[in-house]
Structure 1
């Protein structure tokens, strides 16, 4: 820290002489006031007393001045320490180190700035963790099908394979390729929706007809598992992006079919009141653990990790569905019991019935 310049010796002597003169003059004045009440002593003692009072005043002024100077100097030092600590914290953040925390102190005049830097470091640290988790999850999801494709492609080079074996390996390669394509497509859609790169087209359409079409489109899947599909749809229209909302029903119904055992049942109910429509998709599947229900809309989160490989999926379907519903000013709520089934309730703003 740069030391302040000292005044020249002549100026210091003049200041000292002025302080001494003022102190002795003040001491003389005080003795006159005291003598007014006590009487005037002899001239000798009068000079001694006034001199002592002047010395006391000099010592008092010097002590007070020293205290003020020390406090001022300490304040400057604390100010410089605070500046250095703030600059160091901001430099670490700029270099990508978000493990930063500045301890607030009572003597700091800028604790609001300290709190702001601590908050920035915490938020950036959280974002960095999310970024790393996202990269890790994407890498894992890509690596799995790529490993399968590479492995089974290598097996196809064996000339001793039977046609049945070749067809089975080709089916696996095709399935894994579709998984990669679906992953890429869902990531692009999520990114476009979150950045506003894919504008929504709000046009009134028949929601009941859309749900019927989705159920029929998925018929091969639920029919192959002998699942009873019950549909109870009120005729109504809503304003929204028809293509994106179709993705919501496909994703939720696909999950319901996937996690409902053979011979189970799925019930699709569409109702409305004066302000909103309510779609419930109810299945008799394996259910979701309570501790998992709060995470099911997170990207790449999979409830039953031990069965993911056999059931497929990449943990993005519900994230995408939730984002689309929220962009339509709606809500999506899960309710589930283990071995009893799951109900997804989706509410959306409505138009008058047609």
Structure 2
């Protein structure tokens, strides 16, 4: 009787133990699967879910691994195509721009000057688009690996404001700056591109005699840069799309101002590579505020 009771307890115990272990294994597999799917959704296709021996969900994990591999191959083909096309565009565009500039200087009529100017401006716009595509493609192909070093972020922001002086002076705008000394660890060249893109946008969409503010502050282990203006603003329905490639809030207006819809996509990609984040708030007729947060010691 005693041995029968013990055996019964052992059987029941083993069933419970098996259920607990099985539940734990399934929970672990589910967590790994969800993490892999999240990385795929973010555009990182370098994922592989390890399978459990005699697992019940091996067919599912096999399908996810296969999907990630195929998506990765397609993404690599896309990046190679963009990179190659953009590179091939550069030489002829430079030639077109150069010839157009020569035509403007060679005793052309007013009508010819007008056409030559349009050709030169459009070739420069396409050249800039090509450069941005190459830059974005290179960043996406980096696998999240960028060279970082410590540098004074306040000085970099000050230099970018000075670099763009001809543009804000032409609109009679004097940017207000609040730049306390803050050192961050990041890629100096890439972050410089972030501030240039954001400040160029602020100048571009702020009217003459408008206001632009560039401020910097430290929040714990995070550097926070805020670039704001009192320009035309962005409609709420547009805000969720402005970091998408080639998206333009006002396509006709943005084209006339030389935009190509890649500047903010580059901003977001560079900030993400620094494990930071960028947000935007805006109201039509009141202006726009971009806030970039970067870890100080990444």
TM-score by length of 1: 0.55
Query: How big is the shift at 1:256?
Result: 0.8
Report the aligned-residue RMSD: 4.0
Structure with the bigger RCO (C-alpha within 8 Å, sep 6+) is 2
Q: Does 1:233 pair with 2:179?
A: yes
Structure 1 residues 213, 164: closer, same or farther in 2, change over 3 A? farther
Name the CA distance, whole Å, in 1 between partners of 2:153 and 2:116.
39
SS in 1 for 2:150: strand
Aligned to 1:300: 246
Name the CA distance, whole Å, in 1 between partners of 2:60 and 2:194.
44
Structure 1 residues 271, 170: closer, same or farther in 2, change over 3 A? same
Q: Does 1:284 pair with 2:230?
A: yes
Aligned to 1:8: none
2:289 to 343, 349, 354: 343
Q: Does 1:244 pair with 2:190?
A: yes
Aligned to 1:62: none
Q: What residue ranges of structure 2 are gaps of 5+ in the alignment?
A: 1-55
Q: Does 1:253 pair with 2:196?
A: no
CA deviation profile, 1:172-220 (whole Å, cap 9, x unmatched): 3332222122111111111111111794211000101101111111111
Query: How big is the shift at 1:289?
Result: 0.8
Asked if the contact 1:330/1:346 (under 8 Å) is kept, the reply is: yes
- The answer to which of 170-179 and 279-288 deviates more is 170-179
Query: How big is the shift at 1:255?
Result: 0.8
Q: Does 1:328 pair with 2:274?
A: yes
Name the CA distance, whole Å, in 2 between partners of 1:198 and 1:113.
30
Query: How big is the shift at 1:228?
Result: 2.8
Number of corresponding residues: 233
Q: What residue ranges of structure 1 are gaps of 5+ in the alignment?
A: 1-109
Query: How big is the shift at 1:163?
Result: 5.2
